[in-house]
Structure 1
Protein backbone atom coordinates (compact mmCIF):
# COMPACT_ATOMS: atom_id res chain seq x y z
CA UNK A 1 0.00 0.00 0.00
CA UNK A 2 1.27 3.45 -0.89
CA UNK A 3 1.24 6.29 1.64
CA UNK A 4 -1.42 8.21 -0.26
CA UNK A 5 -3.65 5.11 -0.33
CA UNK A 6 -3.30 4.80 3.45
CA UNK A 7 -4.23 8.47 3.91
CA UNK A 8 -7.20 8.10 1.54
CA UNK A 9 -8.43 5.17 3.62
CA UNK A 10 -8.07 7.16 6.85
CA UNK A 11 -9.92 10.21 5.51
CA UNK A 12 -12.52 7.89 3.97
CA UNK A 13 -13.26 6.43 7.41
CA UNK A 14 -13.95 9.93 8.72
CA UNK A 15 -16.38 10.49 5.86
CA UNK A 16 -18.17 7.17 6.49
CA UNK A 17 -18.56 7.94 10.19
CA UNK A 18 -19.82 11.48 9.55
CA UNK A 19 -22.52 10.00 7.31
CA UNK A 20 -23.41 7.34 9.91
CA UNK A 21 -23.74 9.95 12.66
CA UNK A 22 -26.01 12.10 10.52
CA UNK A 23 -28.17 9.17 9.43
CA UNK A 24 -31.38 9.34 11.47
CA UNK A 25 -30.32 12.40 13.44
CA UNK A 26 -32.85 15.22 13.32
CA UNK A 27 -32.17 18.91 13.88
CA UNK A 28 -33.05 18.80 17.58
CA UNK A 29 -30.64 15.89 18.02
CA UNK A 30 -27.95 17.84 16.20
CA UNK A 31 -28.13 20.77 18.61
CA UNK A 32 -28.59 18.79 21.84
CA UNK A 33 -25.59 19.28 24.10
CA UNK A 34 -24.62 16.26 26.22
CA UNK A 35 -24.92 17.15 29.88
CA UNK A 36 -26.23 20.54 28.81
CA UNK A 37 -22.72 21.90 28.23
CA UNK A 38 -20.97 19.39 25.95
CA UNK A 39 -20.38 20.12 22.30
CA UNK A 40 -23.38 19.38 20.09
CA UNK A 41 -23.24 16.99 17.15
CA UNK A 42 -23.76 19.94 14.77
CA UNK A 43 -20.83 21.82 16.29
CA UNK A 44 -18.57 18.75 16.33
CA UNK A 45 -19.25 17.89 12.68
CA UNK A 46 -19.01 21.52 11.53
CA UNK A 47 -15.76 21.94 13.46
CA UNK A 48 -14.14 18.78 12.12
CA UNK A 49 -15.08 19.79 8.57
CA UNK A 50 -13.66 23.27 9.15
CA UNK A 51 -10.45 21.81 10.61
CA UNK A 52 -9.92 19.43 7.69
CA UNK A 53 -10.83 22.18 5.23
CA UNK A 54 -8.46 24.75 6.75
CA UNK A 55 -5.52 22.43 7.40
CA UNK A 56 -5.57 20.51 4.13
CA UNK A 57 -6.34 23.47 1.89
CA UNK A 58 -3.49 25.47 3.43
CA UNK A 59 -1.03 22.62 3.01
CA UNK A 60 -2.23 21.96 -0.54
CA UNK A 61 -2.24 25.61 -1.60
CA UNK A 62 -5.97 25.41 -2.37
CA UNK A 63 -8.82 27.74 -1.37
CA UNK A 64 -10.96 26.65 1.55
CA UNK A 65 -14.17 24.95 0.46
CA UNK A 66 -15.99 26.94 3.18
CA UNK A 67 -15.51 30.21 1.30
CA UNK A 68 -14.75 29.12 -2.27
CA UNK A 69 -17.96 27.11 -2.55
CA UNK A 70 -20.07 29.61 -0.55
CA UNK A 71 -20.77 27.33 2.44
CA UNK A 72 -20.05 30.21 4.83
CA UNK A 73 -23.03 32.09 3.42
CA UNK A 74 -25.22 29.02 3.23
CA UNK A 75 -24.65 28.19 6.90
CA UNK A 76 -25.15 31.84 7.87
CA UNK A 77 -23.42 31.46 11.23
CA UNK A 78 -22.85 34.55 13.40
CA UNK A 79 -19.11 33.85 13.37
CA UNK A 80 -16.14 35.30 11.49
CA UNK A 81 -15.87 33.71 8.05
CA UNK A 82 -12.46 32.11 8.80
CA UNK A 83 -13.57 30.70 12.19
CA UNK A 84 -12.92 26.98 12.66
CA UNK A 85 -14.24 26.63 16.20
CA UNK A 86 -11.01 26.62 18.20
CA UNK A 87 -11.58 28.17 21.63
CA UNK A 88 -15.32 28.62 21.20
CA UNK A 89 -17.39 29.77 24.13
CA UNK A 90 -20.59 27.99 25.09
CA UNK A 91 -22.62 30.67 23.28
CA UNK A 92 -20.57 30.16 20.13
CA UNK A 93 -21.13 26.39 20.30
CA UNK A 94 -24.88 27.09 20.56
CA UNK A 95 -24.69 29.35 17.50
CA UNK A 96 -23.58 26.51 15.23
CA UNK A 97 -26.79 25.10 13.85
CA UNK A 98 -27.43 23.34 10.55
CA UNK A 99 -29.50 20.51 9.22
CA UNK A 100 -28.03 17.10 8.51
CA UNK A 101 -28.15 17.58 4.73
CA UNK A 102 -26.13 20.80 4.80
CA UNK A 103 -23.59 19.38 7.25
CA UNK A 104 -23.08 16.32 5.04
CA UNK A 105 -22.96 18.39 1.86
CA UNK A 106 -20.21 20.58 3.32
CA UNK A 107 -18.21 17.65 4.66
CA UNK A 108 -18.55 15.80 1.35
CA UNK A 109 -17.20 18.83 -0.53
CA UNK A 110 -14.27 19.06 1.89
CA UNK A 111 -13.64 15.34 1.58
CA UNK A 112 -13.65 15.50 -2.23
CA UNK A 113 -11.05 18.27 -2.16
CA UNK A 114 -8.93 16.40 0.38
CA UNK A 115 -9.13 13.12 -1.55
CA UNK A 116 -8.36 14.83 -4.86
CA UNK A 117 -5.24 16.38 -3.36
CA UNK A 118 -4.06 13.19 -1.66
CA UNK A 119 -4.60 11.04 -4.77
CA UNK A 120 -1.85 12.97 -6.55
CA UNK A 121 0.75 12.68 -3.78
CA UNK A 122 3.82 10.51 -3.86
CA UNK A 123 5.80 9.52 -0.80
CA UNK A 124 8.39 12.25 -1.37
CA UNK A 125 5.72 14.96 -1.17
CA UNK A 126 4.99 14.04 2.44
CA UNK A 127 8.40 15.38 3.52
CA UNK A 128 7.70 18.90 2.20
CA UNK A 129 7.64 21.47 5.01
CA UNK A 130 4.26 23.21 5.14
CA UNK A 131 4.59 25.18 8.40
CA UNK A 132 7.84 26.62 9.72
CA UNK A 133 6.26 28.18 12.81
CA UNK A 134 6.94 24.98 14.79
CA UNK A 135 10.16 23.37 15.99
CA UNK A 136 10.68 21.10 14.21
CA UNK A 137 8.90 22.48 11.16
CA UNK A 138 5.71 20.62 10.18
CA UNK A 139 5.82 18.45 7.09
CA UNK A 140 2.87 17.67 4.85
CA UNK A 141 2.78 14.10 6.19
CA UNK A 142 2.64 15.30 9.79
CA UNK A 143 -0.05 17.88 8.95
CA UNK A 144 -2.24 15.25 7.24
CA UNK A 145 -1.87 12.79 10.12
CA UNK A 146 -2.69 15.60 12.56
CA UNK A 147 -5.86 16.40 10.60
CA UNK A 148 -6.87 12.71 10.59
CA UNK A 149 -6.29 12.43 14.34
CA UNK A 150 -8.28 15.57 15.16
CA UNK A 151 -11.18 14.69 12.85
CA UNK A 152 -11.40 11.09 14.10
CA UNK A 153 -11.58 12.33 17.68
CA UNK A 154 -14.41 14.74 16.86
CA UNK A 155 -16.42 12.30 14.77
CA UNK A 156 -16.06 9.78 17.60
CA UNK A 157 -17.36 12.38 20.04
CA UNK A 158 -20.30 13.04 17.72
CA UNK A 159 -21.06 9.31 17.50
CA UNK A 160 -20.94 9.10 21.29
CA UNK A 161 -23.26 12.11 21.63
CA UNK A 162 -25.66 10.46 19.20
CA UNK A 163 -25.59 7.31 21.31
CA UNK A 164 -26.52 9.37 24.36
CA UNK A 165 -29.76 10.34 22.68
CA UNK A 166 -28.92 12.83 19.97
CA UNK A 167 -30.96 11.07 17.27
CA UNK A 168 -34.53 10.45 16.37
CA UNK A 169 -34.31 6.76 15.47
CA UNK A 170 -32.93 3.81 17.43
CA UNK A 171 -30.82 1.15 15.79
CA UNK A 172 -32.73 -2.13 15.56
CA UNK A 173 -32.43 -4.13 18.76
CA UNK A 174 -30.47 -1.49 20.62
CA UNK A 175 -32.42 0.36 23.28
CA UNK A 176 -31.02 3.81 23.93
CA UNK A 177 -28.39 3.59 21.23
CA UNK A 178 -28.51 4.83 17.68
CA UNK A 179 -24.95 4.22 16.54
Structure 2
Protein backbone atom coordinates (compact mmCIF):
# COMPACT_ATOMS: atom_id res chain seq x y z
CA UNK A 1 0.00 0.00 0.00
CA UNK A 2 1.34 3.42 -0.87
CA UNK A 3 1.66 6.26 1.59
CA UNK A 4 -0.92 8.18 -0.42
CA UNK A 5 -3.42 5.31 -0.27
CA UNK A 6 -2.96 4.93 3.49
CA UNK A 7 -3.33 8.69 3.95
CA UNK A 8 -6.48 8.81 1.83
CA UNK A 9 -8.05 5.89 3.70
CA UNK A 10 -7.29 7.39 7.11
CA UNK A 11 -8.51 10.84 6.13
CA UNK A 12 -11.74 9.41 4.72
CA UNK A 13 -12.38 7.31 7.81
CA UNK A 14 -11.76 10.14 10.27
CA UNK A 15 -13.85 12.49 8.11
CA UNK A 16 -16.80 10.11 8.48
CA UNK A 17 -16.57 10.48 12.27
CA UNK A 18 -16.34 14.28 11.94
CA UNK A 19 -19.45 14.32 9.74
CA UNK A 20 -21.42 11.99 12.01
CA UNK A 21 -20.79 13.63 15.35
CA UNK A 22 -22.76 16.86 14.79
CA UNK A 23 -25.69 14.84 13.45
CA UNK A 24 -25.95 12.80 16.61
CA UNK A 25 -26.27 15.86 18.87
CA UNK A 26 -28.11 18.24 16.51
CA UNK A 27 -31.49 19.37 17.78
CA UNK A 28 -31.27 17.59 21.12
CA UNK A 29 -31.85 19.37 24.40
CA UNK A 30 -29.45 19.15 27.31
CA UNK A 31 -31.92 16.76 28.97
CA UNK A 32 -31.92 14.58 25.85
CA UNK A 33 -28.10 14.56 25.73
CA UNK A 34 -27.91 13.54 29.40
CA UNK A 35 -30.67 10.90 29.30
CA UNK A 36 -29.47 7.41 30.22
CA UNK A 37 -31.35 4.27 29.11
CA UNK A 38 -30.71 2.89 32.59
CA UNK A 39 -28.85 4.01 35.70
CA UNK A 40 -25.50 2.61 34.56
CA UNK A 41 -25.68 3.37 30.83
CA UNK A 42 -23.65 6.04 29.07
CA UNK A 43 -25.56 9.03 27.73
CA UNK A 44 -24.98 10.76 24.39
CA UNK A 45 -23.10 13.67 25.95
CA UNK A 46 -20.54 11.43 27.63
CA UNK A 47 -20.18 9.18 24.59
CA UNK A 48 -19.39 11.99 22.17
CA UNK A 49 -17.13 13.74 24.69
CA UNK A 50 -15.19 10.51 25.30
CA UNK A 51 -15.02 9.84 21.55
CA UNK A 52 -13.35 13.22 21.02
CA UNK A 53 -11.16 13.04 24.15
CA UNK A 54 -9.72 9.63 23.34
CA UNK A 55 -8.98 10.72 19.78
CA UNK A 56 -7.48 13.99 21.02
CA UNK A 57 -5.30 12.32 23.65
CA UNK A 58 -3.95 9.59 21.40
CA UNK A 59 -3.35 11.81 18.37
CA UNK A 60 -1.61 14.39 20.56
CA UNK A 61 0.66 11.63 21.85
CA UNK A 62 1.46 10.48 18.30
CA UNK A 63 2.16 14.07 17.23
CA UNK A 64 4.22 14.82 20.38
CA UNK A 65 1.90 17.73 21.11
CA UNK A 66 -0.32 18.82 23.95
CA UNK A 67 -3.95 17.82 23.50
CA UNK A 68 -6.45 20.31 22.13
CA UNK A 69 -8.39 19.73 25.35
CA UNK A 70 -5.63 21.44 27.31
CA UNK A 71 -3.82 23.58 24.71
CA UNK A 72 -6.94 25.15 23.20
CA UNK A 73 -8.87 25.63 26.46
CA UNK A 74 -11.63 23.07 25.86
CA UNK A 75 -11.21 21.83 29.42
CA UNK A 76 -12.32 25.25 30.69
CA UNK A 77 -15.13 25.67 28.16
CA UNK A 78 -16.66 22.33 29.10
CA UNK A 79 -16.16 22.87 32.83
CA UNK A 80 -16.62 19.20 33.67
CA UNK A 81 -16.29 17.89 37.22
CA UNK A 82 -13.29 15.77 36.23
CA UNK A 83 -9.52 16.26 36.51
CA UNK A 84 -8.12 18.15 33.49
CA UNK A 85 -6.45 15.02 32.11
CA UNK A 86 -9.63 12.87 32.27
CA UNK A 87 -10.61 11.17 29.04
CA UNK A 88 -13.28 8.71 30.14
CA UNK A 89 -11.38 5.42 30.32
CA UNK A 90 -12.38 3.48 33.41
CA UNK A 91 -14.95 6.00 34.65
CA UNK A 92 -17.59 4.74 37.03
CA UNK A 93 -21.32 5.05 36.49
CA UNK A 94 -21.35 7.82 39.08
CA UNK A 95 -18.67 9.75 37.20
CA UNK A 96 -20.58 9.40 33.93
CA UNK A 97 -23.69 10.60 35.78
CA UNK A 98 -21.90 13.71 37.04
CA UNK A 99 -21.25 14.92 33.47
CA UNK A 100 -22.92 18.26 32.79
CA UNK A 101 -23.13 20.43 29.69
CA UNK A 102 -24.44 23.96 29.24
CA UNK A 103 -23.79 24.36 25.50
CA UNK A 104 -24.50 21.34 23.26
CA UNK A 105 -22.64 23.09 20.43
CA UNK A 106 -19.36 22.46 22.22
CA UNK A 107 -19.29 18.81 21.16
CA UNK A 108 -19.07 19.47 17.42
CA UNK A 109 -16.71 22.44 17.91
CA UNK A 110 -14.32 20.45 20.09
CA UNK A 111 -14.35 17.42 17.83
CA UNK A 112 -13.78 19.63 14.78
CA UNK A 113 -10.63 20.98 16.48
CA UNK A 114 -9.54 17.41 17.26
CA UNK A 115 -10.32 16.31 13.70
CA UNK A 116 -8.19 19.12 12.26
CA UNK A 117 -5.27 18.01 14.44
CA UNK A 118 -5.82 14.40 13.39
CA UNK A 119 -5.89 15.28 9.70
CA UNK A 120 -2.73 17.37 10.09
CA UNK A 121 -0.94 14.41 11.66
CA UNK A 122 -2.14 11.97 8.99
CA UNK A 123 -1.04 14.40 6.24
CA UNK A 124 2.53 14.34 7.64
CA UNK A 125 2.89 10.57 7.88
CA UNK A 126 4.84 8.52 5.38
CA UNK A 127 5.29 4.74 5.14
CA UNK A 128 8.18 4.78 7.65
CA UNK A 129 6.12 6.78 10.14
CA UNK A 130 3.17 4.38 9.88
CA UNK A 131 5.52 1.46 10.59
CA UNK A 132 7.20 3.07 13.60
CA UNK A 133 6.77 0.98 16.77
CA UNK A 134 5.41 3.12 19.60
CA UNK A 135 4.60 0.49 22.24
CA UNK A 136 6.60 -2.71 22.64
CA UNK A 137 4.55 -4.01 25.58
CA UNK A 138 2.20 -5.81 23.16
CA UNK A 139 2.70 -8.81 20.92
CA UNK A 140 2.90 -7.76 18.18
CA UNK A 141 4.27 -4.34 19.15
CA UNK A 142 1.97 -1.40 18.42
CA UNK A 143 2.84 0.76 15.43
CA UNK A 144 1.58 4.24 14.57
CA UNK A 145 -0.71 2.65 11.96
CA UNK A 146 -2.15 0.21 14.51
CA UNK A 147 -2.72 3.02 17.01
CA UNK A 148 -4.55 5.12 14.43
CA UNK A 149 -6.77 2.18 13.53
CA UNK A 150 -7.46 1.68 17.25
CA UNK A 151 -8.41 5.36 17.66
CA UNK A 152 -10.68 5.14 14.65
CA UNK A 153 -12.27 1.91 15.87
CA UNK A 154 -13.02 3.42 19.29
CA UNK A 155 -14.46 6.58 17.72
CA UNK A 156 -16.69 4.62 15.35
CA UNK A 157 -17.99 2.40 18.16
CA UNK A 158 -18.82 5.35 20.40
CA UNK A 159 -20.46 7.26 17.56
CA UNK A 160 -22.61 4.20 16.84
CA UNK A 161 -23.51 3.90 20.51
CA UNK A 162 -24.48 7.58 20.62
CA UNK A 163 -26.59 7.15 17.49
CA UNK A 164 -28.36 4.20 19.11
CA UNK A 165 -29.08 6.16 22.29
CA UNK A 166 -30.34 9.06 20.16
CA UNK A 167 -32.79 6.65 18.57
CA UNK A 168 -34.00 5.66 22.03
CA UNK A 169 -34.34 9.34 22.99
CA UNK A 170 -36.44 10.00 19.88
CA UNK A 171 -38.66 6.97 20.55
CA UNK A 172 -39.34 8.23 24.09
CA UNK A 173 -40.95 11.40 22.75
Provide TM-score, normalisation by structure 1.
Answer: 0.89
Q: What CA distance in whole angstroms lies between the structure 2 residues aligned with 1:128 and 1:60? A: 13
Once structures 1 and 2 are overlaid, which stretch shifts more, 81-90 or 41-50? 81-90
- Asked whether 1:156 is paired with 2:151, we answer no
Secondary structure of the 2:128 match is helix
Q: Structure 1 runs of 4+ off > 3 angstroms?
A: none
Q: Hey, what does 1:79 align to over in structure 2?
A: 82
Does 1:133 pair with 2:134?
Answer: no
The structure-2 alpha-carbon separation of the partners of 1:125 and 1:37, relative to structure 1 and needing over 3 Å to count, comes to same
Structure 2 equivalent of residue 58 of structure 1: 61
Give a deviation string over 1:35-71, Cα, whole Å, max 9, x none.
Answer: 3431000000000111001111101212100000011
Q: CA RMSD in A?
A: 1.7
Residue matched to 1:90: 93
User: d(CA) in 2 for partners of 1:16 and 1:125?
Assistant: 27
| 1:6 maps to 2:4 | no
Alpha-carbon contact 2:22-2:107 (below 8 Å) kept: no
Specify which of 23, 35, 47 is matched with residue 20 of structure 1: 23
Q: Which residue is 1:104 aligned to?
A: 108
After TM superposition, the structure 1 stretch with the greater mean CA deviation from structure 2, 17-26 or 38-47, is: 17-26
Whether 2:51 is the aligned partner of 1:48: answer: yes
Aligned residues: 169
CA distance in 1, matches of 2:111, 2:125: 21
CA deviations on 1:3-28 (whole Å, 9 max, x unpaired) are: 01100011111111101101111211
Q: Aligned equivalents of 2:116 and 2:104: distance in 1?
A: 18
Could you list the runs of 5+ residues in structure 2 that have no partner in the other structure? none
Whole-angstrom distance in 2 between the partners of 1:63 and 1:133 = 23
Question: Matched residues in 1 for 2:164 and 2:141: separation?
Answer: 34
Structure richer in helix, relative to its length: 2
Q: 1:131 deviation in Å?
A: 2.0
Q: Once structures 1 and 2 are overlaid, which stretch shifts more, 117-126 or 6-15?
A: 117-126
Do the aligned residues in 2 keep the contact of 1:2 with 1:123 (CA within 8 Å)? no
> Following TM superposition, by how much is the alpha carbon of 1:177 offset from its aligned partner in structure 2, in angstroms?
9.1
